[in-house]
Structure 1
Amino acid sequence: MSERLKILVKEKLADSGVQLLREHFDVDLGDSWSDDEFRARIGDYHGILIRSATKMTEEYIALGSNLRVIGRAGVGVNNVDVPAATRRGIIVANAPQSNVVTAAEHTLALLLSLARNVPQADASLKGGKWERSKFGGVEVYEKTLGVIGFGRIGQLVAERAKGFGMKVVAYDPFVASDRYRDLGVEKAETIADAVGDADFITVHLPVTPETRGSLDADFFAHVKEGARLINCARGELVDDAALKAALDSGKLSGAALDVFPSEPITDYPLFDGYPNVVVTPHLGASTAEAQDRAGVQTAEQVIAALTGGTVTTAVNIPAIAAEDMEVLGPFVPLCQQLGKLAVSLADGSIDALELEFFGRIGERDTRLLSIAVLQGVLSGHTEEEVNQVNAPSIAEERGIEVTETKRATARDFTDLVRVTVVSGDTRQRVVGTNVGRRNRPHLLEVWGQRFDLQLERDLALFRYEDVPGMIGRVGSIFGEKGINIVSAAVGRTPGDDDGPARDGNAVMVVTTDAPVPAEVVGEIVAGAGFLDGRAVTL
């Protein structure tokens, strides 16, 4: 009989998860180990389960000479050096759905606490006062809930709020229109539309450069007078000064917060003197069921990784076959860039993606490239980090239909990638390829116009009437703002069946050595003859 594999449970894990592991492996509990003991013994184990305290750095991963899998009992994997694990062929898996129900329920708990002044009344009565008239609340029945971010948790919140008889309006351009209809939720075209008539507002967004501090003075200016805000997502989403000002002015009649800019925290400005503010110490995932679910789900993934099963929550995947990687590998960055560029040009919700692969790549299993496009489209717009494993399932749960077409030939180029984003009745197509021995990504078509421009990290696009002087106007304003242009190209509408008819417009794409501020794009587009403009960082 072969020797049983060994598993280290480095942090406290639900007993159900430990017991499941012991049915298959020899399991040691190392939650009380010193760092020296951990370093000395990690090389004995084939798998390790951690929570958030253990940092699996490149150094520890190297010491784990027998490691095949790292299981993170929770949602994030920011405490694991995933690239280092991938280089050593170690699977990293988490439990991304372990706390979604718990987070949704806590959001509703805070909403009801705000509506009925439950914490305030509790403290008053325990303090020896009977102040029944002081804590009269409001019903949630037939009130409007505005949901900002309509992913897994946002959808669960909406379903539960509808059970209370609430009207739900949600905003998330990365959810297909059909998904809103299926859930009986009104689709908002803008954040302002979602919060303008909302009596209660709940936010479920990831933290990105675009969303950090986005609940600012401008956001609260669009909020209905007397609305109540709930944040169980990320503290960094809120501009604290703007929130305080909205409460002080009465624009908001209350707020409930489970998350804060830095944690742990005990001196937040709204902790004292704000009886209309309800706070909890990041309890969104803190239920026995969620902890048990995280332990069991992670244990299941570790078992699958070590027994030849399918690791459904892996955040990294083994390398594809060498013969396929030789052809497809260089196109992965291009596909990610085209996905990000296409979605930045789309207006409205993303209902479908049409992916076309031509040439040598069309002869291969192009799922890797389709996933790369999905990563570009979805990254930074979902509650969990998008990776090569979960991208298809995230698209599916958001109702985004993905179709793939392949041909073994490509006219004019050896290989070609087309990405089309479908938003209702509108379509945005971008086309690209790789050029040269170093596989430089090139943009070949956008906004219905063709050109050939090497893609860089930062670029700006302008659509305008095809008249003299337009290029100079863009260059002059960039010069005034101190923006250095790396390269530029102007495209005209294709003159064949692949593109729309000539409409008298042109497209200019400019690459720069730094991001182009949105206000600079706005200033240019405000000029006569300009129809549209975007700044994109790939």
Structure 2
Amino acid sequence: MTRPRILITETLGQEGIDLLREVADVDAYDLLPKEQLPEIIGNYDAVIVRSAHRLPRETLIGHPRLKVVARAGSGVDNVDLKTCTELGIAVINAPGANAVAAAEQAFAHMLAILRNVHLGDAHVRSGEWSRKKFLGGELHERRLGIIGFGKVGREAARIANGFRMKVYAYDPFVADEIFQAHNVTRMETLEELLPVSDILTLHTPKSGPQIGLDLLSTLPAGAIVINVARGGMIDEEALATLMDTGHLLGVGLDVFSQEPPPADFPLFRHPRAVLTPHLGGSTHEAMTGVAVMTAQGVIAALQGLTPPNIVNVPVPPLTPDEFGMLDEGARIVGRIFAQMHRTLHAPIVLSLKGPIPKNALPWLKQTVLAAILNEQLADRVNAVNALVKAEEQGLKLLVEERDANALPTLALRLEGHPETTTEVSLENHVPRLRRINGVAVDLPWPDIALMTVHDDAPGVVGKVGTLVGQYGINIGNLHLGRQENNHQALMILSLDQTVPDDLVRDLNQITDIHHVFVF
């Protein structure tokens, strides 16, 4: 099997590169010239970028080999997510891998401003020694306002609690319990948050709120504003204006609307503005964490799996065991059902039993659709673009939830046709086929399976077994089931080797056999 090729356009931690090279051929650059990326991207199965390269639609289309795009960082602002989804390209990132580093960077700025670290350093280096000039303040008992309470915002709250600060936060997408668990007072609006924030720190994605002069003017006199999240989210001209008037004590920026900032950047004239060149994730620990998480996600996606750090699939917050169990069950039931029903003349019903979390339903639906359509279409179909492809095909998947106290079970059937039911249970994290095309069976689903639908007549099982043996293939298990209404039977063989096309051809020549399926 040909090894995939992976392109890394910017510096990535060696630990991540080493993982990738175990399974793929990797071309790694410290910084690939931007103009070269569109010219060579089509030669790779996956591409990993950081901040210097953008992946717009015109760069992504027309490259059928490209399966995975990864951003070695938390955001994916430089990737055209809509186009990737349309093309079935998995988008990977590394959320939270640099959360500690980013939160600590915010506090580095706060302390530098409050304790005059940068000014005192320059003072000593110039040969002077005046302590009175640099009387500072403490974080203790100050009020910290956090905009955005995701992984970085929560890490900032943990640090703030260690400094015994009073912490307030705004994030309309986070449950009350999360705020309570971090000893943080929830604010319902920005208009409520800013007037009680002696220090304001931003930790939102690019889609977060824009903070302009009107809002910034509601901060208490002598406030400090920190942005280590995304450049341009806070109006830099407004910050300079409020520094000019003395309303703000200081500003700490690690990100800018233009990077690097131009020579006439307005905050350059303010010594109490602490400015750093996008260092939020630049620690050895964060670089290693980002590299490893990115590499693991890319490898899983190239193997056809759904990694937890995929961006364009609604991955539910399940444990790895729960996720893996449901993912495998969904793929198995979808694949079997699709092979049994090449023509889908009615909507499909996905029936769920057992303690399957409601927040897993969108992802499960996409995974099942992908498994079905993969057997139906020649185009690339995966959980990323399954909804798009289903809409193109006019395929509807309905979801019903049944006995919540039963074993976890996934079943598919054509609406109005219970005799088409295929059902897989997930007892003890082992997928077991319980029903196929309405026929009751009970077997752990094997890695390689061959199934025949044949007349319920003597001698068929022997003929199949003999023919399989002639091809040198060992049968690990055999299961029989009957379709009483039409005098047909089905046989499922668990095999130790893959099934060659010639064996399928020869099996189809046996008079009593109507269909042969390979899984």
Asked if these proteins are the same fold (TM beyond 0.5), I'd say: yes
Q: Distance in 2 between matches of 1:268 and 1:144?
A: 29
Deviation of 1:199 (Å): 2.4
Q: Distance in 2 between matches of 1:174 and 1:192?
A: 17
Change (3 A) 1:405 1:130: farther
Deviation of 1:138 (Å): 0.9
Change (3 A) 1:141 1:56: closer
Q: Figure out how many residues of one structure are paired with residues of the other and give that number.
A: 341
- Could you say which residue in structure 2 is the equivalent of 1:188? 187
Query: Structure 1-normalised TM-score?
Result: 0.55
- Output the amino acid matched with 1:101: V
Report matched runs for 1:38-187 at 5 Å. 42-58=41-57, 60-62=59-61, 64-187=63-186
Q: Which whole-Å deviations, capped at 9, do the CAs of 1:22-65 have from their partners, x for residues lacking one?
A: 22223233557678976676554333323233444555545644
SS in 2 for 1:228: strand
2:277 pairs with 1:287: no
- Output the amino acid matched with 1:181: Q
Change (3 A) 1:233 1:405: farther
Q: Distance in 1 between matches of 2:40 and 2:172?
A: 48
- Could you say which residue in structure 2 is the equivalent of 1:506? none
2:262 pairs with 1:268: no
SS in 1 for 2:7: strand
Change (3 A) 1:20 1:169: same
Q: Which whole-Å deviations, capped at 9, do the CAs of 1:125-152 have from their partners, x for residues lacking one?
A: 1122112110011121122212222222
- Output the amino acid matched with 1:297: M
Q: Which whole-Å deviations, capped at 9, do the CAs of 1:79-112 have from their partners, x for residues lacking one?
A: 4344444444332212222322211110011111
Q: Distance in 2 between matches of 1:50 and 1:119?
A: 33
Report matched runs for 1:278-317 at 5 Å. 278-317=274-313
SS in 1 for 2:212: coil
Alpha carbons 1:225, 1:251 under 8 Å: kept: yes
- Output the amino acid matched with 1:191: L
- Could you say which residue in structure 1 is the equivalent of 2:464? none
Q: Distance in 1 between matches of 2:361 and 2:283?
A: 39
Change (3 A) 1:63 1:369: same
Report matched runs for 1:399-438 at 5 Å. none
Q: Distance in 2 between matches of 1:253 and 1:229?
A: 9
Alpha carbons 2:75, 2:205 under 8 Å: kept: no
Deviation of 1:120 (Å): 0.7
Report matched runs for 1:501-512 at 5 Å. none
Deviation of 1:234 (Å): 2.9
Q: Which whole-Å deviations, capped at 9, do the CAs of 1:141-185 have from their partners, x for residues lacking one?
A: 122212222222111101101111111122223222222211111
- Output the amino acid matched with 1:89: G
Alpha carbons 1:42, 1:63 under 8 Å: kept: no
Q: Distance in 2 between matches of 1:238 and 1:32?
A: 29
Change (3 A) 1:294 1:199: same
- Output the amino acid matched with 2:221: E
Q: Distance in 2 between matches of 1:35 and 1:215?
A: 32
Q: Distance in 1 between matches of 2:154 and 2:278?
A: 20
- Output the amino acid matched with 1:270: L
Deviation of 1:229 (Å): 1.8
- Could you say which residue in structure 1 is the equivalent of 2:246? 250
Q: Which whole-Å deviations, capped at 9, do the CAs of 1:317-350 have from their partners, x for residues lacking one?
A: 49997999xxxxxxxxxxxxxxxxxxxxxxxxxx
Change (3 A) 1:121 1:190: same
Deviation of 1:312 (Å): 1.5
Bigger Cα displacement from structure 2, 124-133 vs 309-318: 309-318
Change (3 A) 1:44 1:170: closer
Alpha carbons 1:362, 1:406 under 8 Å: kept: no
Deviation of 1:405 (Å): 8.7
SS in 1 for 2:52: coil
**Structure 1 unaligned residues grouped into runs of 5+:** 325-359, 373-387, 390-403, 408-538
Change (3 A) 1:57 1:173: closer
SS in 1 for 2:282: coil
2:229 pairs with 1:229: no
Q: Distance in 2 between matches of 1:245 and 1:38?
A: 40
Q: Which whole-Å deviations, capped at 9, do the CAs of 1:374-401 have from their partners, x for residues lacking one?
A: xxxxxxxxxxxxxx98xxxxxxxxxxxx
Q: Distance in 1 between matches of 2:67 and 2:204?
A: 33
SS in 2 for 1:66: coil
- Output the amino acid matched with 1:128: G
- Could you say which residue in structure 2 is the equivalent of 1:382? none
Alpha carbons 2:237, 2:266 under 8 Å: kept: no
Q: Distance in 1 between matches of 2:252 and 2:72?
A: 27
- Output the amino acid matched with 1:293: G
Q: Distance in 2 between matches of 1:254 and 1:33?
A: 37
* Sequence identity (%): 41
Q: Could you say which structure has the larger radius of gyration?
A: 2
Change (3 A) 1:8 1:235: closer
- Output the amino acid matched with 2:303: T
- Output the amino acid matched with 1:246: L
Change (3 A) 1:316 1:127: same
Alpha carbons 1:199, 1:228 under 8 Å: kept: yes
Change (3 A) 1:11 1:82: same
- Could you say which residue in structure 2 is the equivalent of 1:215? 212
Deviation of 1:367 (Å): 6.5
Report matched runs for 1:288-437 at 5 Å. 288-317=284-313
Bigger Cα displacement from structure 2, 16-25 vs 252-261: 252-261
- Output the amino acid matched with 2:181: D
Alpha carbons 1:149, 1:170 under 8 Å: kept: yes
SS in 1 for 2:225: strand
Alpha carbons 1:68, 1:90 under 8 Å: kept: yes
- Output the amino acid matched with 2:175: A
Bigger Cα displacement from structure 2, 313-322 vs 49-58: 313-322
Change (3 A) 1:91 1:207: closer
Alpha carbons 2:157, 2:167 under 8 Å: kept: yes
Q: Distance in 1 between matches of 2:64 and 2:363?
A: 31
RMSD of aligned C-alpha atoms? 3.7
Alpha carbons 1:149, 1:172 under 8 Å: kept: yes
Alpha carbons 2:313, 2:363 under 8 Å: kept: no
SS in 2 for 1:270: helix
Change (3 A) 1:303 1:229: same
Q: Distance in 2 between matches of 1:197 and 1:78?
A: 31
- Output the amino acid matched with 1:211: P
SS in 2 for 1:297: helix
